Structures are given as C-alpha cells and as structure tokens.
Structure 1
C-alpha cells in the first residue's frame, strides 16, 4: 500500500519490484490522476490502482486486503493525528509486514521560524502542516500501534521552504502471529 499516494510518484518507482500496489488518498482528483497515469503505462488495476478512501482500520475495508509493506512518503506532516493513522496502517499489515514512513525531522530553525511562515501563507485551515517530528514521537506512535523492531535513519538533507531540515525513514514491523 502507498498511503497518501498523491499522483503515484512513489508507486511508479516501486512497481517493478511488486506484484500489486494499492494507492490510498483522500483526494479524488489525485486518485484519478494516479489511475490515469497507471493506465497510460499499460498496467492493469490488478497490478496498480488507487482508491479514494478515509481508512478507519476495520474489518471489511479494502476487501480485507492485508499488505507486506505499507509506505507513506512525505505525508505525515500533513496528518492531524499520526498516532491514529499509524494504528490504522498497522491494522492493514500482514504479520511480519513492514510500515515505512519518511518525512522531516523537527529542526530548531523550522520551529523558531515557522510562525513567520504561517503569517505569509494561510494554509493550516486546509490540511495540517506540521514542521517535522522528533525520533521519540515517531518511535512512540509506532510502538503504540503494536509495531516492533523500530528503526529511524536520516536519509537526506533538504530545505522546508527556506529552512534546512533532515529527511528520515522510519521502519516498524508487525509481529508474527
């Protein structure tokens, strides 16, 4: 599963290494664009597709599909309640399945200057815009969701608007049954 898949940039990169990818997003427009691009590549919906849904983590959702890997690329900072979202994503993992989340670390320069950025762009009312996370926060939401073997690694340096930050990838595994 590619959670918060957008137009499918990550999914298309991973497609050659998978049997099936299901993209999930809350924007019908992005899902439509994802599926259009999949169709233009000559792939079938059995190989890759996106659906517009607000997942709840309950039996019957997504036709009871469970996943070996769930990825969420650069979207956690847009999510209001990452603890609830992580719990929901863990629900969709097979035993032994892995959740991979990459996003920004919280960096002091961003924290200190984000107030100025908010004055320039009034976008908080549309979607959450956090300015990064610290390792203990991500570890806690993964562990509270029942995931084990937690790892967090810095994979790149970047700029968030004008502020330097670091990009991490966090990994957690659903215990074997």
Structure 2
C-alpha cells in the first residue's frame, strides 16, 4: 500500500501536470511570464562566475528541470553546448521542442522530454547515460510545487557531474499562504499564472494538490542541499536588472476577485556543487 506522503506526491504531480497541459498553448502569451523569465535568465547570466560552473559553448551540458516551454533555456543557450529540458507536462515539452525546431536549432543541441524525477518509480529510459553528468542543472520556480523537496534535490544531484556539477534553484523566499489557497487553490507564481485561473483548466484541477510550499528560507534550503550532499551552498537575491533584494512583480488572483492584481514576491537563487 502506498504511503500517505507518496499518495499526496502523486496527487500533486497529477494536478500540476494537468494545469500545465491545459495552459501550455497560452503560456508564453502572457507578457508577465516572459518578463519574469527574462529577469531570471538575466540573473543566471550575470552570476555565471558566482555559480562556480563552467559556462562554455563547446563543453557545457545543462539540464533545465521543469523547463516549461523553454523560456529560460533559450536565454542561457549561447553559453552551452547542449540543453536537455525535462517537464512533467507533455504539452509543455511539445511546445519546447516546437520552438526549438522553428528556430532551426539541432535536436542534439536542445530538446525536451517528458520526465518526473520525483516519481516513486522512474521511467527506465531516464537511466540512459545522456541524462547524467550535467555541468549545470537549473530549476526555476518549481521547488514550491514539489511535495518532497528533499527527494527532488537528491534525484537532481545524482545527475550532476561528480565534483564539479552545480545545481541552481530559483524560487520564492518564505511567505505566508492565505487560508484560501488551501481551501480554493489560489496561488500566483512563475510570472503570472494562477492555480485559480477561471476556465476549464481550473474546473478540472484539485487545487489542494497544486502548491506544496509557501517559498523557502535559507535555513530550509541549506538543510535540503546539505542533505543531498551539495557543498559550497550560497544564496543571492534576484531582482529586476540584477538588483539584489528587489522584489519581482507577479500577477495573480489572490484577492478572490478573479481579476489580475499585481503582487510582489522576493526571489532567491541558491547554488550548490556536487561533492
């Protein structure tokens, strides 16, 4: 019999997969999504030296986990040899690959596959050597969706190149989740979509399973990264124009009105090197 935690994780994964499948076709159209992603991509590039990773167009292999349609991947691509995206949503991976094809990028340089590294049993295809020994793994605004953050981190770390591979996680600093998020599933993140967006997708979702965490503290992430065997753990604040400590504006429906409202959230980036 599956444990309660395992059942919760499976429910959360299915809810998130459904939400992103339902919204993949319109995901890039929302200006705020692209704007936030640009801020994140810009901050990754500005802090290449800080990351401790090698960013070389001739050698660097990157895994973009929870890659979505590939917005971050396309920003960092000029500094990499290969990017492989992984996403739980089939439709997101399809959009990623469609865009790669349209821009004429060879599949061996950039592509996405459907994968859930948090599953109880991993797809056997993920044991292929091409899905290991990454120089950098990037995970943007996905950790607060993971029911088991420790497991997710450990699964990512084992795919890093030993001794030199670097994990970069971008997510929200700790913030309180209103009761209505628990009761109605309203939560704004990743540049503008809300788990209470009105329409067919919201009606299909079990909102209780979409968000697992109200951001993270440095203490939280140090414990998780250390538990996964990462060393040289360090943090930077992420903001527009690379400004430290400046909150990023998101769109959401957290007032219950159904209308877009602007919200500010503080965002961090944390790095850790595989030992």
> C-alpha displacement at 1:154, in angstroms?
1.3
Moved more, 35-44 or 116-125: 116-125
TM-score after normalising by structure 1: 0.87
Larger Rg: 2
User: Which has more strand, going by share of residues?
Assistant: 1
Tell me, in whole angstroms, the C-alpha distance in 2 between the residues paired with 1:121 and 1:55: 24
Assess, with a 3 A threshold, how the Cα gap between structure 1 residues 62 and 30 changes in structure 2: closer, same or farther.
farther
Which residue of 41, 45, 49 corresponds with 2:111?
Answer: 49
**What is the 5 A alignment of 1:155-170?**
155-156=238-239, 157-159=247-249, 161=252, 164-170=264-270
Give the gaps of 5 or more residues in structure 2.
Answer: 1-62, 187-205, 240-246, 255-262
Which residue is equivalent to 1:90?
Answer: 157
> C-alpha displacement at 1:155, in angstroms?
1.3
Which residue of 48, 68, 77 corresponds with 1:6?
Answer: 68
**What is the 5 A alignment of 1:1-177?**
1-55=63-117, 61=126, 63-64=128-129, 65-95=132-162, 96-107=164-175, 111=176, 114-121=178-185, 124-156=207-239, 157-159=247-249, 161=252, 164-175=264-275
Superposition RMSD in Å: 2.2
Tell me, in whole angstroms, the C-alpha distance in 2 between the residues paired with 1:172 and 1:59: 27
- 1:16-41 alpha-carbon deviations (Å, 9 max, x no partner): 11000000011111100100001011
> C-alpha displacement at 1:54, in angstroms?
1.8
In the comparison of the two structures, how many residue pairs are matched?
Answer: 171
The answer to whether the Cα contact below 8 Å between 1:106 and 1:165 also exists between their aligned partners in 2 is no
Tell me, in whole angstroms, the C-alpha distance in 1 between the residues paired with 2:226 and 2:154: 9
Give the gaps of 5 or more residues in structure 1.
Answer: none
TM-score after normalising by structure 2: 0.57
> C-alpha displacement at 1:48, in angstroms?
0.2
User: Which has more helix, going by share of residues?
Assistant: 2
